[in-house]
Structure 1
């Protein structure tokens, strides 16, 4: 299952801040503060089949890249509400159920585009849980006037785009879509205008065997057609987050300052 998520969960070095656990709404989260007085939350959602700790290592990479600027950021990593332990995957989580056999058949038969219009069962509950967590994370930092960053990998990318379009009262300053895809297409097309003030960073591997690159290109076209401030980074790789995306994200975080 390692293809479903990147393995960036490296332990922090001795000079790095220590992660802590927190509960926001109904979601258990790992929190890493870049400094003593962060003001900008960066909320990242993991993909299907990953543990809640999966993306935590990204915080330490960004803190290292940002240097003194890292002090402005609080990195928050929610764990998805559904356990996949009964499927023989201890520690694995999901934002909503996925029929993996159906997904594999659609990819093999080149029918993945048929899934673009589908609204997954369970996405509404996941969206509401994430939006409540975002509200509490922002309130804890004390000012709704501060920008916030939202994003995710794979299923987490789909969820955070859906939450930005159909759940949150305000859009994030920066939306990070790592190896995501198109779902809920009619609903997303009708609401993409809500991202008017958001910069969207989208990245996808051309060799992705899980979520086809062609569907990522479709998402990019949707964003461009809607006039969204979006950039699309393709890389020669599988279903993962590449090092160029990590470096570019650090630049985009610094730009928020």
Structure 2
């Protein structure tokens, strides 16, 4: 599990017309916590995640993991994107064990873990299948297993279910809850889906329009374990109304700025 901290993080993209994507973001994430970054498309959520992943640096401020500055990408942070981006010429099994093999780890250190993860994500019977033979949801399960086999201290997820149909998306949300409750990994989850954020997270951070700041932090105290059935509870509805009001306010402020 990883502890993550952002201190006055800002990001400007310099071109003919400089674009300020992030503005003075402060954020503390505890070990084993599941947090969701929620906001409209283009507000800077993915930029923030890319800084945490080490794919790009901040223009100002500092990003820390376990007290150390985040530099380049590293095995302590696993990243799951909207598309699984599997190697099409490799089987499911070969995709999952690709990372530890490239690190030169002995099979005894990762094969048992890989088999367990494939069982956890419901793909143990598809180990010898190729990505083209799988549905979109199944490919994303492979992508999650491929990241988790590396035992990252933090899991960074950038709208990983955004391209899936509604039914598959709900199944993947419940799967992620099961995996997270079992592994207790620190998770930072980017989404623009309010229901998804409430269902999954311990805390939801509502981001403002660009340049993005943390507009509001909302602690989600729904009991765990959670399931899709919780979406119809009165408590869930109250959280949704509160977050929708916050997002409407942020949108109105952006329009009048």
TM-score by length of 2: 0.30
TM-score by length of 1: 0.30
Q: Which has the higher contact order (CA 8 A, sep 6+)?
A: 2
Instruction: Tell me which structure has the larger Cα radius of gyration.
Output: 2
